[in-house]
Structure 1
Amino acid sequence: MKQLVCLFLVFSMFSISLFAQPSEMQAPEGFDVQREGIAHGNVEMITYKSKTVGADRKARVYTPPGFSKRKKYPVLYLLHGIGGDENEWYNQGNPQVILDNLYAQNKLEPMIVVLPNGRAMKDDRAVGNIMEAEKVNAFSVFEKDLLNDLIPHIEKTYPVISKREYRAIAGLSMGGGQSLNFGLGNLDKFAWVGGFSSAPNTKRGKELLANPEEAKKKLKLLWISCGDNDGLLNVTKSTHEYLENHKVPHIYYIEPGNHDFKVWKNDLYMFSQFLFKQIDSTTFPKYTVLGTPASTNIRSAKYPQVLPDRRVIFKIKAPEAQKIQIDLGKKYDLIKGTDGVWTVTTESINEGFNYYSLIIDGVAVADPSSETFYGMGRMASGIEIPIAGEPFYNEREVPQGEVRMKRYYSDVTKSWRKLYVYTPPSYDLEASSKFPVLYLLHGGGEDERGWSAQGKADLILNNLIADKKAKPMVVVMLDGNLSTGIAGFTDRSLAMFENELIKAVIPFVEKTYRVSDKATDRALAGLSMGGMQTLHAGIKHSNLFSGLGVFSSGWWSNRPELSKPHYDFIQENVATVNKNVKNLWISMGAKEDIAYENCKIMLKKFDDMGLKYTYEEYPGGHTWPVWRRSLHQFAQTLFKQ
């Protein structure tokens, strides 16, 4: 009977606001001001014996309004920063005031809150040089003190529910890192975890959460937050990216502010309202105050910002301008504020890399807040929109290759030209080895920088080689611009490129780099215009290449005078091409790819002629996400028996 009463008290306590979640995106004014005429909780100082430290230690404990020893309560362990102790939250954060006010509005489940000293050492005061190695290390030691000494003491002294589903941990700065480390490292102990402006003590990626699938099953809530002006935002952002890549539900909450209690009090106000309630993780993305600065922003630029649903916020200060638009394929009109700042939030943008321009009073210019890229025949801004899951072009802790810019004099063009060359991680380690080589071509309006800057070719190859999905290879990214405009696709311009590749580039590369000169170790690929150059030079010189990759390209279906000579050559030499080219690999975006119809018509002609090829199609248009995927897939097929 006693057990039934106890269970009834527990369930009745949690039935209040069972499906409630915070209605605000930020705390309202006065949320941290003590109010009269409401019930108040109590804060007391306790002492507990720590076998870990070998001393008595102190902590503050908050019990909620109406606290009764006849009820059982969940517990939140709330941790301080590197310069604080058990008094920091109490003196500067006023958690007792914030929580009392929330109880008065029926927005909070009754809970006990423990404010410990996270510096687990005998002299645990925040005095002297707080950055001494011993004092910093004591924050790691606290994990053992927390689990083996403090939690057992609290559960022996107070009427708490001793189950992981009723235990939460959160903290600010150093305490935020502790909360993530200890909470995610002990999923059998904690179901609710929050990191506020987490410090660099936060473990990285796989070390922090080695088993994402376990976290998905056990975590009730994972909250990570930071101020947008906080110098430690990168820690929170990198944690979010790892969680996002592994599809671990969490709230990623970026708010206006610095590394201070204005931010952390707001975090406590928001975070505490989720605790010990039934919540729907599908609603997590809506808890967004600010977006995340795009990875393509210049250093310290706050805008453009990317929201969780891939909408983008642009802000441009231009008080003298009369009209400003953002051109992202679709044009968006910005609205001018009284402070001269123009603002717009776009629709959801395609994942991956996107070119864009500012149009100020009719003139298209690059956004001064964004990195610029040579594309569309000029310098343009670019924005990287995060992709769901773990991108194959992520920066990973794997051996890194190197991209080198190399100048060479071309006897074909009678001018100095440039190459970008990727060498695999083993290139400098294997001084006697020769490597296979892929010649990789950009599209119209781009140049030799495209595959490295926009295409992330080096990251794609680093990851594939580390995963043993691709052979270590040298990748030569050359400048295919030997003429301009539509002339770039004429027989004359294609012949110019052919001569440059065969007579200048390949001899220079084979003289300068340790690459094999065998056709079985040589491949050629390109996107769009580079795809046509690959079709022309690669098929004409099939004795030089074992693999050809054609991405989003095809001979002109509406210009038979341009395409007929190439089809005639293939028809006459189809047996030779099939024998020499072990892998003619053709890929395309979906129907929105502007080369889609040309490619389909070309493939039909290849079928009729008996030319062997492999075809793959990816979601997306005539864009870098499609071409990155093309390189990722094509590279895995190269230089294998």
Structure 2
Amino acid sequence: MKKSILPIILLLILTFGSGVFAQEALFRSQQVVSPEISKGSKVTFRLLAPNAEKVQITGDFLPTVKVDSPMGQVDGPGKADLKKGENGLWEFTSEALDPELYSYSFIIDGFTTIDPNNPFLIRDVASVTNIFIVGGGHADLYKVQDIPHGTVARTWYDSPGLEMKRRITVYTPPGYEKSNEKYPVLYLLHGAGGDEEAWISLGRTAQILDNLIAEGKAKPMIVVMPNGNVIQDAAPGEGSMGFYKPQFMIPGTMNGTYEANFNDVVNFIESNYKVKAEKSSRAIAGLSMGGFHTIHISRYYPNTFDYIGAFSAAIMPREDATAKVYSDIEGTLKKQKDNGYQLYWIGIGKTDFLYDANQEFKEMLNAIDMPYEYVESEGGHTWRNWRVYLSEFSQRIFK
């Protein structure tokens, strides 16, 4: 009898014991609402920290301050104090906020951490922050609406030039899988410290394209988001290098190797997707380092792309960059101009640390009578600007 009961007891222990461990995260959670967005677009943040001496919040919804970064002094998020209430619940309510996607973190006694009551996070290089959206206006493009949706896939392509298989993110528009239609392609490039996850996560690419396509403001298109770090096969934690801390500047990212081998990406897409393999159906755009790559790829292959978008672009190569890609910049720009294109679009924030470099680039284009459109926005080197630039650029291409 005892022997026959023992297996049943063990089974019960394993069954209910595993359930207890599975619920561990639930019991650790705080029953606090944060953030809470009011009808007046004020946002309240709360944190249960009874033993804390001081709690602050930092985020891009607060007035900016100058902070040190690998790029020098740039605009960074300010800070605000939370007020401690009953039972150790700290609270802060913002002013009414404009429509936008915002990010934030808490600072508890000098230690920066996430909001334990908000599970929605994004990673920018090695920093992880919480996010929330105040709706209305252009911010509604960043929301998931009740409309047809495209598909986001992470796949791998072979890069003979870089001698490795590499991971890539591809957005296909609503209805792609069942359609016999061929689509135009936007190649969308990230900045320094980013990877093939950056535009889809921080840039809200899928939401923006879904919404613009549904509204008839953008043509259905494929968006290809490669990894611009030539020594990586994939984003940190997603490739053969395993888990490691992402870095801002990775060796080889701006030495010409990526630009020279970019056709490996184009060849893969045009061999494996239903695309219009012609200049008039190819666009390339990127932010910061990706804008740098965009400028140099498009002039190095001057008859490949009809639409070029430089968002807060780094412009000229470093003095020690001697790759063939960077030779005769003015001459290859003239050839690109002579070959013709539909749109050369430049966007930059008024307080961007790359503002002066972009003005010098405009002077170079003016000197060779190379047509372009120029958009100058408020703010600096931020995703807030780049999401808007993508929204505007994607409405102008393939028309």
What TM-score do you get using the length of structure 1 for normalisation? 0.47
**3-state SS of paired residue (1:331):** strand
357, 360, 364: which one pairs with 1:605? 364
Q: Distance between the aligned counterparts of 1:450 and 1:389, measured in 2? A: 20
The alpha-carbon deviation at position 308 of structure 1 amounts to: 4.6
Q: Distance between the aligned counterparts of 1:509 and 1:555, measured in 2? A: 27
Mapping of residues 468-483 of structure 1, within 5 Å: 468-482=216-230
392, 395, 398: which one pairs with 1:633? 392
- The percentage of counterpart residues that share the same residue type is 34
The alpha-carbon deviation at position 400 of structure 1 amounts to: 2.3
Matching of residue 502 in structure 1 with residue 263 in structure 2: yes
- Corresponding residue number in structure 2 for 1:335: 83
568, 583, 601: which one pairs with 2:343? 583
Checking the alignment, whether the CA contact within 8 Å between 2:256 and 2:321 is kept in structure 1 is no
Q: Distance between the aligned counterparts of 1:511 and 1:519, measured in 2? A: 16
290, 309, 329: which one pairs with 1:570? 329
- Corresponding residue number in structure 1 for 2:43: 312
**3-state SS of paired residue (1:515):** coil
Q: Distance between the aligned counterparts of 1:479 and 1:301, measured in 2? A: 38
Two-structure CA RMSD over aligned residues (Å): 3.3
Checking the alignment, whether the CA contact within 8 Å between 2:256 and 2:324 is kept in structure 1 is no
366, 372, 382: which one pairs with 2:114? 366
- Corresponding residue number in structure 2 for 1:451: 199
Which gives a bigger RCO, structure 1 or 2 (Cα 8 Å, sep 6+)?
2
Letter in 1 for 2:151: E
Mapping of residues 418-437 of structure 1, within 5 Å: 418-431=167-180, 433-437=181-185
Q: Deviations over 1:192-240 (max 9, x none)?
A: xxxxxxxxxxxxxxxxxxxxxxxxxxxxxxxxxxxxxxxxxxxxxxxxx
Matching of residue 596 in structure 1 with residue 355 in structure 2: yes
In structure 2, the CA distance between the partners of 1:397 and 1:317, relative to structure 1 (3 Å rule), is: closer
Letter in 1 for 2:155: K
Checking the alignment, whether the CA contact within 8 Å between 1:426 and 1:472 is kept in structure 2 is no
Letter in 2 for 1:402: T
- Corresponding residue number in structure 1 for 2:313: 553
The alpha-carbon deviation at position 349 of structure 1 amounts to: 4.8
**3-state SS of paired residue (2:262):** helix
- Corresponding residue number in structure 1 for 2:11: none
Q: Deviations over 1:437-456 (max 9, x none)?
A: 11112233333223223322
- Corresponding residue number in structure 1 for 2:376: 617
260, 285, 288: which one pairs with 1:525? 285
**3-state SS of paired residue (1:509):** helix
Letter in 1 for 2:126: G
Q: Distance between the aligned counterparts of 2:385 and 2:203, measured in 1? A: 10
Mapping of residues 195-594 of structure 1, within 5 Å: 302-308=33-39, 310-328=41-59, 329-349=77-97, 351-370=99-118, 371-388=120-137, 391-431=140-180, 433-482=181-230, 487=249, 493-503=254-264, 505-555=265-315, 569-578=328-337, 579-589=339-349, 591-594=350-353
- Corresponding residue number in structure 2 for 1:204: none
Provide the aligned length of Structure 1 versus Structure 2.
Answer: 338
Letter in 2 for 1:583: L
Q: Distance between the aligned counterparts of 2:103 and 2:157, measured in 1? A: 30
Q: Which runs of 5+ in 1 are unaligned?
A: 1-297
Q: Which runs of 5+ in 2 are unaligned?
A: 1-28, 60-76, 232-245
Q: Distance between the aligned counterparts of 2:376 and 2:322, measured in 1? A: 23
What TM-score do you get using the length of structure 2 for normalisation? 0.73
Q: Distance between the aligned counterparts of 1:408 and 1:626, measured in 2? A: 30
Checking the alignment, whether the CA contact within 8 Å between 1:439 and 1:524 is kept in structure 2 is yes
Checking the alignment, whether the CA contact within 8 Å between 1:554 and 1:602 is kept in structure 2 is no
Checking the alignment, whether the CA contact within 8 Å between 2:106 and 2:114 is kept in structure 1 is yes
The alpha-carbon deviation at position 373 of structure 1 amounts to: 0.8
The alpha-carbon deviation at position 342 of structure 1 amounts to: 2.0
Q: Distance between the aligned counterparts of 1:582 and 1:515, measured in 2? A: 19
Letter in 1 for 2:301: H
Q: Distance between the aligned counterparts of 2:221 and 2:39, measured in 1? A: 36
Q: Distance between the aligned counterparts of 1:416 and 1:459, measured in 2? A: 28
